Each structure stands twice: as structure tokens, then as C-alpha cells.
Amino acid sequence: MRAWAISAALVAMAVAVPAADILEQVLVKVNGDIITKTDLEQRQVAALRQKNPNLRSDNEAALQQALAEITPGVIVDAVDELLIVQRGRELGYSMSTDQFNSIVDNIKKENKLEDEEQFQAALKQEGLTMADLRKQLERTMIIQRVQQVEVMSKLQVTDAELKMYYDSHKDSFTTKPQITLREILVAVPTSDRSVNVGQEEEAMARAEDIRKRLVAGEPFARLAADLSDSPSKANGGLVGPITLDVLAPDLQQALQGLEAGDLTPVLRTTRGFQVVKVEALETATIKPFDASRDEIADRIASEKRRGEFTKFLEKLRAQAIIDWKNDEIKKAWELGLKQVAVQGVPSQP
């Protein structure tokens, strides 16, 4: 078993192991701050929960396979998070007692924890103390502020970039043609072997009669509610709006050239005989550039953010003094960096 593997018992417990109960093993020092075996195991548990909540702790082979898949990313995230927090400390970021108390009050309200006793019970259930909670909240706050200052503040999107993106991605701002239909279905009873010819002829005759009544002006919605065998009868036979590509090819062909208000001939489908009316047609439309500006800006900023965040992390890693105390963890880290290079930015702290 590799040195970074987590015990099956820990997965079964699915809770953080108190540091006081084990002999701490330092896996790596990052600019003097340490990541311990306990730190890694807690992150592994969280990653396993997220990726495969149904993983059985008694299936050793599956457990080790899952760990082999998640650990490289877990250790990269752990080191990156520590580097970002260290940068935040350099910038003087911290959480005041008033800020912490305000966040705790919001947590209580959002979770409807009416008194301190309920709140403490909830913390205990999560395996946390108030000190643990404050540490987690402060780390999250510092990480967010660092990203805002070091990454988000550098993102600028020009009008020229907005227009260029719009012109080159017009498909994503174009809606597909849509159609709204009404249907009446006369089902044909079937057995495991075949369709009863007499019943099929009777069903077709019923469908033809219904179509004649529709042509004569009887309301489609009323006839659908009274006579259709389709679940859509509850809504007067209404189906849609939908895009044409989700319809069966035979129905698409039958609808070609029809306009709003037109009826198809009686159609034989797998369910029986069907009469379809075109209720409404919506042609493809292109969302105007001015109406798309905010969406485009968000898309470009998101792409730039990934690039800037990658460069920021690479800079922190290059400047860091990383002292590995475990060869297997170092190999996992190196594999994780390769995965990041291929797949993009890792899950952010």
C-alpha cells in the first residue's frame, strides 16, 4: 500500500480524525508551513465523498483505485491553497472577531439554529470546534481576497474584445427554430405477438373521423381532452414549444411546409394513429449584441480568469521553498501538476 493511501476504516467513518489522537507525520513543508498526513487524509475523505459517495469501505481494490485517481489533485490543491493563504498573510489579511461573529450569526439564521446549544450540537456533528470553524472561515476569506486582488482586479474586457467574441460565436446567441403542437392520439392495442388488424382499422377510422371534425371547426383542445389517448390530453393536447430535431423523422417530414393552424394527415406512429396541429411556429432568432454584452463579458472574464489564475499559481509555486518529506506524495504532486497542464486549472481552494 502506498504511503499516501488512506485507511478503509477512515473512509467508513467519513469524519475528520482529531489530530491529538494520532502521531502526526509531516508530508511536506511549504515555505516553512506544514501539510500533515492528517491534513491529507481529511482532504481525501472529502474528495472521495464528492466523487463517489457510494464507495464501499470494505472494497479495498476499489478504494485504492479511487485514491490513486484523486490524490494527485488533492495534494496539488492543498499546496496551492497554502500558498494562497501565505500570500494573504503577507498582504496583512485576517478575520476580525466582529467579522467572525457576523458570519456565525448568518450561519445560525440560514440553518435555523435558534440557540447556542443547537449551534454547538451542529458543530459537534460535523466534527468541528469553534476554533476549527474560525480557521476554516478565515482561510476561505483570505483566499477570496487574494484572488480578488491578484487575479480579478487584472481582468479587463474591451469593447473590441466583446464585439470580436460576439461575431465569432454567433451560433451560441442564436435560438433554434421552435414549434408548438397539439396532438390527438388514438392508441392501437397490441399484444406480445402482433397488432389486431380489426382493432387497427377501427382506430384508424376513429382518427380519420376526429380529423374531419377538426377540419369542420370543432376545437382541437376540447376533442383532445375528450378523445385522445395521450397524456397530453390533460393540457388539451398541447406539446411544446420544442425544437424540430427532437421530433421523430416521420413527424418532421409531415410538418414540412405547414403553417400555424394547419393539420397533418392521420399519421401511423408506434403508439397508434395521430393527428397533429401546428399551434405556433417560432423562427430562429439572434440575440442582439447590445443585449448580449453582459453575458459576453462574463464569458471572456471567465476565460481570462482561468489564465490569470494559472499564471498566479505558477508564480507562487516557482517562488516557494517546497521540502518534501515523503517520496510518494512528491510523485503524486508531480503527477497532479501534469494533469493540471493537460486538463486546465485544478479545483480551486
Omega before residue 241 within 30° of 0, cis: yes
Question: Percent of the chain scored above 90 by pLDDT?
Answer: 40
Q: Does domain 178-282 have CATH number 3.40.50.720?
A: no
pLDDT exceeds 70 at position 310: yes
Task: Please give the mean pLDDT across all residues of the chain.
Answer: 85
pLDDT confidence tier of residue 324, bands split at 50, 70 and 90: very high
pLDDT tens, residue by residue, 223-277? 999 999 989 988 899 988 888 888 888 888 888 888 888 899 999 988 889 999 9
pLDDT exceeds 80 at position 19: no
pLDDT tens, residue by residue, 61-115? 888 888 889 999 999 999 999 999 999 999 999 999 999 999 999 999 998 888 8
CATH number of 8-155+300-343: 1.10.4030.10
101 vs 199, higher pLDDT: 101
249 vs 23, higher pLDDT: 249
Per-residue pLDDT, 192: 57
pLDDT confidence tier of residue 191, bands split at 50, 70 and 90: low
- What residue ranges do the domains of the chain occupy? 8-155+300-343, 178-282
108 vs 192, higher pLDDT: 108
- Convert 191-207 to b/e letters by CB count within 10 Å (16 or more is b): eeeeeeeeebeebbebb
Mean pLDDT of 140-147: 93
59 vs 140, higher pLDDT: 140
Please count the other Cβ atoms lying within 10 Å of the Cβ belonging to residue 267.
18
Per-residue pLDDT, 23: 58
pLDDT confidence tier of residue 22, bands split at 50, 70 and 90: very low
Give this prediction's pTM.
Answer: 0.60
